[in-house]
Structure formats: C-alpha cells, structure tokens
Chain A
Amino acid sequence: MTFRHERLPNGLEIVAEVTDDALSTSVGFFVRTGARDETDATWGVSHFLEHMVFKGTDHLSADEINRRFDWMGASANAFTNEEDTVYHAAVLPAQQHEATALLAEMMRPALRSEDFATEKLVILEEIRMYDDQPPFGADERCRAAFFGAHPLGRSVLGTVESIEALPVEAMRDYHRRRYAPGNIVLAATGAVDFPALVETARRHCGDWASLTDDAPRPVAAPRRGLERSLFETIVRPAATLAYGVRMSPGPAGDDTDRFAAKLLATVLGDDSGSRLYWALVDPGTAEQASCHHQDFRDAGLFTTQLACDAADAEDLLGQVTEIYAAAAPAGITTFELDQARNKLAGRVVLVGERPRRRLFSVGLEWARSGQYRSVADDLTIVEGLSLDDLHRVLSHWPLDGAGATVLAGPGTAGDGPDPVNPSVPAADDTQ
C-alpha cells in the first residue's frame, strides 16, 4: 500500500491509497459541506443538492448518468452528513477513468427547475420514510436538544416545511459557494493508477474556477454541551417498542483522545460483549442498548441508543446512566481493555481489505484534517491505547453527566430518569 497526493492549481486535492493487487478501484469526490453549513433558509439544501447532482449536467441527462454507471458495472451512490457530502463509485480497475470522469462531470450539475420540482417530491418521501422508522425522530430531536441553536443541531434531511420552502436559486447559490475546487477532495483506493487519476482530474476538473466562499465561517461548536440534562418525548401510537437516544459530550475530531473515546464506547456499549450488552441485551431486557462515539471537526459526543418495551424505558435509561456512573470509580479492567482492543483491531483489518470501505476512511480523514492514516497506523493506535487513556476520558467526559435524552414510543410520558450527575460545567473550549 502506498499513499499518493497531488494538488491541482485551482486547489482540488487528489489523494490515493494504492494497493496494486486489489481487484477493484473506488473513487469519490468528498465535498467539505453539509448540514452545519446551512442556514434556516437553506435547511436541507446539502442533501437535496446531493440528489440533484444525479439529475444531470448541461450535457448529460439523469438517464445517461444512471445508464453509464450501470454500463460500467459501478456500485455508485452518495451520502450527506453534518460536515461532508460524498459521491462515490466502486468499479473494476479498467473503469477507473470512466467512473472518475463521470463523477467529475456531475460535480457541475445543471440544477434545472423542472428536475428540482420532481426531486423535491423524492426528498419529501425520504423524510417520511425515515420518520416512519425507528427511532421515530428521537435521534434528530436529541441532536437538536444537545446542540441547541448551533448548526450541528440541524437534521441533515431538513423538514417537510424547509424543503417545500426551498427555492432552486438558493441551491444554485449554495452550490456555487460550496463546490469550489478548494473545498473538494478527490480520493481513490484499491488498484489505483495514480498518474491516470491525476490526468483525469486535470482534464475534467482543471477548469473549475477557484472561488472563495464569502459566507461567514461556521461557528465553533460547543465542546462541553449542556448546563443541565434535558429530557423530551415523542409519542408514536403505532410504535411497538420505545426508542431512547441519549447524547453527552465527548472528545472532538481534533482531540487525540477521540481514539480512546471509541475504545471506551466499545467497552461500555458495543453491540455485543459490552457492559450494556451483558446488563440489558443478554438478559432479553432490551432489544438494543449500545453506545458509540462520534466526532465532528470541533465537537464530539457519546450517543447511547436503547430499544425496549415502553413500560421499561425510563427505568432502563436510568440503569444505563448507573452503569456509566459506576465505570469511573471502579475503573475498566485489563480484560475489558484487551477484549475491546482485539475487537477494534479485527474490524480495522476487515475494513482495511475492502477498497470501497477504505475510501471513506481515507477521503473523510483527508477532507477533515489533511492527514492520512494507513491500516497499520490505525492498528498501532489501537494497540497503543492503555487503561490510563480510558480512565482519562472517563474523568474528562463523564457519560453520566449532563446530556440530552429523547424517548420515542407508543405513548411514553414523564419527566425522565433522575440525572445522576447534573452539574457538569458547560464552558466551551475547555480542552
């Protein structure tokens, strides 16, 4: 595996992790834009634009794009989150140029009014689809409660109202500002012919005008979260189970403790073999009880997800908090550390051998930090984590501290569980 990097004069960065004997090639355009770059007036535009990119350019129809991807046997798709919009394709190596060139062309979409009107209907269906599914909006409501007025509290899809109100002109303006070449990374993994990749990028992206986004810089996210715990409920009479989501502050994407935070979340709340698993899932008490760590550029959080009978929900949320509260004083055991390290190392290796999975690790990391970490680097980090690291994270970021909790279910109500430790300081940038 070798890492390659190149930058075009207009600012577009090209990175690749080259594995000569890989069977496939994955390519993707990683645009540094997402829900946190939106305003009330453009809420949902990043994700809507991601759909519109597949509707064609001045020279290409949507049907042609779909046919060309299928013709090259590509597995192509896109996603949008709070900070990134990613367009990707996995192909056999012989199709590298074709896939890259097509994606590159798509980055300059026509954004036709009639396509915008039709695709708006699809977006509204997507919003309804997710709203009908667990956790029935509890995750988005929880993030809104956790981040308050900060743009990271915005749902990626937007709302029915914000999408219905969005004019096509606002999307064209957003695209012009946010899809400037200096704000995009072209990444590739697998059997990559790097000189050919750079040549394709020169030919298809070299004339993109470099623009400076004159919009104000995004506001820094709150690092320590909430002054006091918040609890909200969503009532869905048709729901069978109740779904709880709890968020509390954790290390941010620029904090080296983010790796220890992920290992800690594995010990406490991995899908199997964790403290939450043995206490709540193995006995059949909860359908799901898990915890993971998520980081943004300047904020991080621990997210706990619970699914259980509605009658048990508040009691079990309380039990989860007690499990977290017990972790710091008693400490994590060496056995738990070893188990979690072995699990994470196994996952790193399994993800590492699939170019289409590596693409996201390589592309997202470069888009965020301008850094590259190989599979070996990741393994070294996992193996180097110690009990001290875990205990430091536990003491800085108590998972039982002030957090936001939202419970959605068939008529759940109440004030929520008693917070065990409601008085975590709320100051920003305390790291």
Chain B
Amino acid sequence: MTVGTTGDGRQLGEGRPTLKQQLFSTTLDNGIVVLGERLAGLESAAIAFHLPAGAFYDGTGRCGLATLAGEMMLRGAGARTSREVIESLEGAGVQWAHSVSTSHSSFAGAMVARQLIPALPIYADIVRRPRLPADELEPARQMVLRNLAGTEDDPAHRAMASLRQLHYPSPWGMPAEGISADVADLGIGEVREFVARRVIPTGTIIAVAGRIDWPEVVDRIAALFGDWTSAGDAPVATGPRGPRVRHVPHDSQQTHIALGWSAPPYASDDSYEASAALAILGGGSSSRLFTEVRERRGLCYSVSAGYHTLRDHAMAVCYSGTSAARAQETLDVMLAEIERLPGTLEPAELERVKARAKSALVMQQESSAARAGDIARRWYHLQSMRSLAEELERYDQLSVASIERWLAAHLPAGLSVVSLGREPLEVPDDIQA
C-alpha cells in the first residue's frame, strides 16, 4: 500500500486566504484505488464508489443490463433487506444516489461528516454482498422501464443520446439507461453473472472528500474492502459507428438539434485546447453561439457547445432547441459559427474562458459531493490525481495560438447531426465528409 499526499497553496485573489488543497491516494493490494481530498472548511463529507460495471459491458442485445444490475444491488445487501438498505442510509442523513454511465456503476453519498465512517459498512454490503434476490427482479425491471419511458418524454435528452449513439463506435455510444426491448428480456441469472463479472476490485475507485480524517478513512476502507478478490473479465470488442445524419420524428412544437465531431479524450495533451475552443464557441453567455443564435436573432432559448469525454473517445457537442419553423435557420447559423471559428479567436475570448474555468474549479471545493465525483473521474482518465494548482497551471498555458493549432488540425471533419422534431432538416453534404 502506498500513500501520497499533495499539498499546494496558491493565492486566489488579493487579500484572501490561500487555498490549501490536500489530496491523498492509495492503492489496496487487490487493486482498489482509494482517493481523498480534505476540505477542512466544510461540515460535510462525501463518498463515491465508481465500479467498473458501466453500460460499456452490457453486451449485444442486453442494453440496460448494467442499469438493472445497479438497481438490483440496492435491493437487499448483506444482512439488510431492500428496504433496510435505503432506510439505513437515510437514517444516517446520507443523500444517496446511484447512476450508471458508459464506464461505471456509481454509488454516491453526501452527509454530515461524522456519518461517513458509520456509512461505510452499508456501502460495503451494497458493493460486496448484494443479495440480488429473484423476487426483486420484476420491481427493479419495472422501475428501469418506467425511467426509460420517462426519458422518451425528454426531447433534449433523446437528441443528445441519439448523437452519442451515432458518433461513438459501439458500445461506447449505447444508452446507459438501456433499451426497453432488451431490458424486458433480461433474467436474474444474467444480472447475477454481470455483478460477479464486473463488480470487482480491479478498476474500482473509491473517492472521499470533505471534512475527512484520511488515515481513519483508509483504515476502515482497507478493513471493509481489502480482502475482496475477483476473477478478471474478457475485453469488449468495439463495433461500428452509426450513420452521420439522423432525423428522429417526434410530435413536438420545438425541433431539437444535436451535432458533434471528434475531439481528443481527456487524457490527451490537447484536451484543454479542445475544451477551451468549445467554450469560446458556446460555453458562456458571451460565447459566439449564445450571442449569434439567441441574443442577435432570438432564435431559441437554449443553445450551447461543450466537450464530452469517454476514456478512449471524446466529442465536441453543440445543442439547440427551437420551434420547427426556425430550426433550419438555427442549424445554419450554428454551422456558420463553427466554420467561422478557426483563425478568428480573440485573446479577450480566451481570457473570459480561463476566468470562468478557474472560478468554477475553485467553487467546486465548496461541495464535497462534487469533489469526490471529480477526483474519481479524473483518476479514471489519467490514472493519477491532478491538483487544483496543476489544473490552473494548464489553463494558464492555453494561448490563442495553441487553440488555433488544435482547431486547424481538428475542426469538423465528419460532423454527426441529429434532429428530433416534426420535420427533418437539410444538412449540407460537405460537412458530413
């Protein structure tokens, strides 16, 4: 077991206290990575378990298996019944959450700091001793199916999910929430087999943040998880991407437009350049898309651009929702702004992006839950911790020239476009190349 500590201080604004970030990491002998960030100014603590059991491992025709398995893990664990699992967390005042992403099944909790150590055995039961009872399968399946039906009523979510499916090679782009026909067909045997195969120490990240006593937390986690062993799993083969352009018919007043092109994953050297370029395009209220699409023309209420990253793939994403009659003009203006971006970046635009990013980084230290999730995600991408000082340093290094270099090399080759609404939109052939 190794323990590393990073402490750094950096002046953040005149006359204000120096921010002292304390980061910790250790790897248990069975491969579990335990990360910590002490935020002494907080009264709370948060924990996040990122288990390598995301939708990526669902398997062909089994889309939703990870989500169903995650739901089943909460339905009885160790000596606790399904109801006792939830009641024990809530009785301790834990704000709990479970979610499944492409890469992980995540169990998270935020609480008053003194409840962290007592909450650990509950999480150990959920993670290591889920009962996965056959009589809970049907209620869990119905819950997953109802949630899926709910996402059908969220047009913006559907447009973005469809874009990920189009753009990323399978299974990276498959919807984590599942596909109804697949979920309807899943059996208890598959769920148990999935949990045995994917809820394993190798690849598991446990992150704690807030008012924590790191040695105590590590001792307790080592005692509860140190003797956990598991077999390995076969690698997943990746498949083809979808078509470049798709229209999803939907009877709504607004048409939702989602478009994207390939960007470097977070671990790449130039991911900050990509992220900054997209922030200039559509990241704030002074961004180009907001100014040109909403402020100048009043075409929509929502328009934005951002950076979406998986481990091996990433995407530049733009979104807008607008009434059907104005959707074509909205798409045309969005495409024109993307095309206009290279060669026109202004230093003032970059300064604003830096200011927003730095400010957001600092303010994130006010939420133990946000920090626990963040250090876990960064470890997944980088296999190391990145301190706030390093992060700020990386933003300082950004220049108009470095972003222009990235744009010149990456600007949209092979744009994927999804429209969801009453009528399809015209997408110029030349941007689909």
Pairs A-B, 3 closest by C-beta atoms:
A284-B142, A73-B359, A94-B13
Residue A72 at the chain B interface, CB threshold 8 Å: yes
Cβ–Cβ < 8 Å partners of A11 in chain B: none
Contact A66 B291 (CB under 8 A): yes
Point out the residue from B16, B146, B291, B297 that lies within 8 Å of A94, measured CB to CB.
B16
Point out the residue from B94, B149, B323, B351 that lies within 8 Å of A240, measured CB to CB.
B149
How far is B287's CA from A69's CA once the two chains are assembled, in angstroms? 12
How far is B386's CA from A274's CA once the two chains are assembled, in angstroms? 40
* B395 to A: closest C-beta gap in Å: 11
Q: A66-B285, A91-B359, A284-B143 in contact; A346/B111 too (CB < 8 A)?
A: yes
Residue A24 at the chain B interface, CB threshold 8 Å: yes
Residue interface bits A113-147, CB-to-B below 8 A is 1, else 0: 00000111110111011011110000000000000
How far is B86's CA from A28's CA once the two chains are assembled, in angstroms? 37
How far is B141's CA from A229's CA once the two chains are assembled, in angstroms? 35
Residue A81 at the chain B interface, CB threshold 8 Å: no
User: Quick one: which of B1-60 are within 8 Å of A by CB?
Assistant: 12-17, 19, 41-44
How far is B190's CA from A108's CA once the two chains are assembled, in angstroms? 63
Residue A272 at the chain B interface, CB threshold 8 Å: yes
Determine which residue in B145, B154, B323 has the highest number of CB atoms from chain A within 10 A of its CB, and name it: B323
- Given A23-B19, A353-B366, 9 more contacts at CB 8 Å? A66-B291, A67-B286, A90-B363, A128-B253, A240-B153, A272-B90, A284-B144, A354-B366, A354-B367
Cβ–Cβ < 8 Å partners of B220 in chain A: none
Cβ–Cβ < 8 Å partners of B360 in chain A: 73, 75
User: Quick one: which of B360-378 are within 8 Å of A by CB?
Assistant: 360, 362-363, 365-367, 369
Residue A278 at the chain B interface, CB threshold 8 Å: yes
Q: Give the number of chain B interface residues (Cβ < 8 Å).
A: 81
Contact A122 B152 (CB under 8 A): no
Cβ–Cβ < 8 Å partners of B286 in chain A: 63, 66-67, 69-71
Determine which residue in B19, B96, B286 has the highest number of CB atoms from chain A within 10 A of its CB, and name it: B286
Residue B93 at the chain A interface, CB threshold 8 Å: yes
How far is B252's CA from A120's CA once the two chains are assembled, in angstroms? 20
Residue A325 at the chain B interface, CB threshold 8 Å: no
Q: A237-B251, A285-B142, A339-B91 in contact; A352/B302 too (CB < 8 A)?
A: no
List, sorted by A's number, 26 A–B pairs whose CB atoms are closer than 8 Å. A21-B41, A23-B12, A23-B41, A24-B362, A66-B291, A70-B352, A75-B359, A121-B299, A132-B252, A133-B154, A241-B152, A272-B96, A273-B86, A283-B142, A284-B141, A284-B146, A285-B142, A287-B147, A307-B146, A309-B146, A309-B149, A339-B87, A342-B93, A346-B110, A349-B112, A353-B42
User: Quick one: which of B51-88 are within 8 Å of A by CB?
Assistant: 82-83, 86-87
Cβ–Cβ < 8 Å partners of A54 in chain B: 285
Residue B424 at the chain A interface, CB threshold 8 Å: no
Determine which residue in B92, B110, B153 has the highest number of CB atoms from chain A within 10 A of its CB, and name it: B153
Contact A63 B147 (CB under 8 A): no
Residue B118 at the chain A interface, CB threshold 8 Å: no
* A205 to B: closest C-beta gap in Å: 23
Point out the residue from A69, A129, A191 that lies within 8 Å of B301, measured CB to CB.
A129
Residue interface bits A74-103, CB-to-B below 8 A is 1, else 0: 111000000000000011111100000000
* B305 to A: closest C-beta gap in Å: 14
Q: A23-B362, A273-B90 in contact; A241/B153 too (CB < 8 A)?
A: yes
Contact B19 A122 (CB under 8 A): no
Residue A355 at the chain B interface, CB threshold 8 Å: yes
Residue interface bits B212-254, CB-to-A below 8 A is 1, else 0: 0000000000000000000000000000000000000011111
Contact A346 B149 (CB under 8 A): no
Point out the residue from B87, B96, B115, B295 that lies within 8 Å of A62, measured CB to CB.
B295
Contact A134 B154 (CB under 8 A): yes
Nearest A-chain residue to B110, judged by Cβ: A350
Cβ–Cβ < 8 Å partners of B138 in chain A: 284
Cβ–Cβ < 8 Å partners of B150 in chain A: 134, 240-241, 287-288, 307
Contact A347 B41 (CB under 8 A): no
